[in-house]
Amino acid sequence: MASPAPVPTGDPSVEVVPFVLDVPEEQLQDLRERLRRVRLPEPATDPSQGLGLEAVTELCRAWLEEHDWRRVEDELNRRGQYRTAIDGLGIHFLHVRSPRGDAQPLILTHGWPGSVIEFLDVLDALTDPGDEALPAFHVVAPSLPGYGFSDKPTGPGWGVDRIADAWAELMSRLGYDRFLAQGGDWGAMITTALAVRHPDRVAMMHTTMPRAPRPEGFDDATLTETERRWLAESEDFRRAGSGYSAQQRTRPQTLGYGLVDSPAGQLAWIAEKFVAWTDGDGFGGVPRDRVLDNVSLYWLTGSGASSARLYWESFGGVDSTSPVTVPSAVSYFPAEMVKLPRAWVEARYVDLRRWNALPTGGHFASLEVPGDFVDELRLAFGS
C-alpha cells in the first residue's frame, strides 16, 4: 500500500524550513494501477443525479494517460515551498516574494475542494506585475490543516478561528507585522476571522464570499432585481446543491474511506464541483489539467477524510455576525454559489471600500478568470 504522503526534506519542528516535493514513484504507480482497474457504476437515470458516467470515464482516462504529476511538482518546487509547526501542527505554504521594494505582504487562503493549486496561475502577476504603476505583493499561500502537505490534525479543535490564529502566527514568523488577506470558500471565513480576531494585523481584506446575516428590520422592498435573483439562487443551492456539505459536516470519516481508497471516487467528488460551481460548460474557464492537478494533490496526500473534517469542525459554529472593522472589499463572480445583498454585507463589513459584481467567473475565480481576479485584488489593495 502506498504511504499517505511524501516525506518533506527538512525538519518542520524548527521555525520555517524548505519543503521539496518528490512523491515516491511507487505512489504514482499505485495510482495508475488503480485507474486501470477502476470500477464505475451504471449511467444515471437522470442528469440531476450527479456527474455523468461519460464525463468521469474520460477524466479517468486523461488522468491515467495524459496527466503529468512531475510537472506539478516542478511548478510547486520552483515557487518556493516551506513548512513550519504552529500550535503543534505542521503547516505547508508557498511563500513567493516580489522583487519590488514596495511590495505588500498578502496571505491567500483556499477552501474546499481547492488547494494552493488555485493560486499558481496568478502568482507572477501578483508578485511582479511588470508595471511600476501596479501594486505588487509578497504572496503567502498556506495549505489548510488536513489539506495538501499540511499535517492532518489527530484530535478535534482545528476550526476556522484556530486556523485564523495560526495564520496570524505564520505571518509573524515570516516577519510580516501588517498584511493584506484574501480568501474564498473556507478561505473567506478564515480571512474574515483574521480581520475580526486580529484587526491590528490585517491592513485590508478581500473576499469573494462574505458571510453576513439579514439585518434586523431589513426591508425586502429595497432589494434590487439582481439581489432577488442572488437570494433565490442561494436558496436553490442550499436545497439541491449542498448534499456534499451535509455529509462532510456529519460523517466525514465514513465518506473518507471511499475517497482515500478510490481515485475515481475522489476524482468525481471534486470534479463535480468544478462543473457545478464554474461559469460555462464543462469546467468553465478552468483547464482540465488544473482540475487533475488539484485532484492529484488530494489523492497523493490521502486527504479525502481530513479535508472534509473542516466541515465537521466548523459548520454551524462560524462567527457570521461580529462586525468587521478593517477595510474590506468584495468581488462577486456570477457562478458563485451564495451571494448576499450589498446592504447585508455593508451592515457587517462596516468599512467596505470596494464592491464589484463581475460579468464572468465563478467559485474558482483565480483559475477561471485569473486576469479578472488579479485586477480585483489590485483595485482593492492598490490604494
Distances in whole angstroms, Cα of residue 256 to Cα of each of 60, 196, 217, 233, 343: 19, 32, 43, 29, 39
Q: Profile the chain (383 residues) by mean pLDDT over runs of 10 residues.
A: 36 77 97 97 95 97 98 96 97 98 97 98 97 97 98 97 98 97 97 98 98 93 96 94 95 97 98 96 94 98 97 90 97 96 97 97 97 98 86
pLDDT of amino acid 22: 96
pLDDT of amino acid 5: 37
In terms of residues, how long is the chain? Answer: 383
> DSSP code of 174?
T
Instruction: Report the catalytic residues.
Output: 185, 311, 363
pLDDT of amino acid 120: 98
Tell me the pLDDT tens digit for each residue of 114-171: 999 999 999 999 999 999 999 999 999 999 999 999 999 999 999 999 999 999 999 9
Pairing assessment for the beta strands 202-207 and 104-109 based on DSSP bridges? unpaired
pLDDT of amino acid 4: 33
pLDDT of amino acid 6: 37
CA distance 9 to 18: 7
Pairing assessment for the beta strands 89-96 and 137-142 based on DSSP bridges? antiparallel
pLDDT of amino acid 7: 37
pLDDT of amino acid 380: 97
CATH number for 16-381: choose from 3.30.56.10, 2.60.120.10, 3.40.50.1820, 3.20.20.140: 3.40.50.1820
Q: Which three cell numbers stand for residue 220?
A: 425586502
Q: Which three cell numbers stand for residue 238?
A: 442550499
CA distance 276 to 283: 8
Q: Which residues contact 356 (CB under 8 A, 6 or more apart)?
A: 330, 331, 332, 376, 379
The answer to whether the CB of 292 falls within 8 A of the CB of 63 is: yes
Print burial letters for 336-370: b (CB count within 10 Å at least 16), e (below 16). Answer: bbbbbbbbbbbbbbeebbbbeebeebbbbbbbbbb
pLDDT of amino acid 315: 87
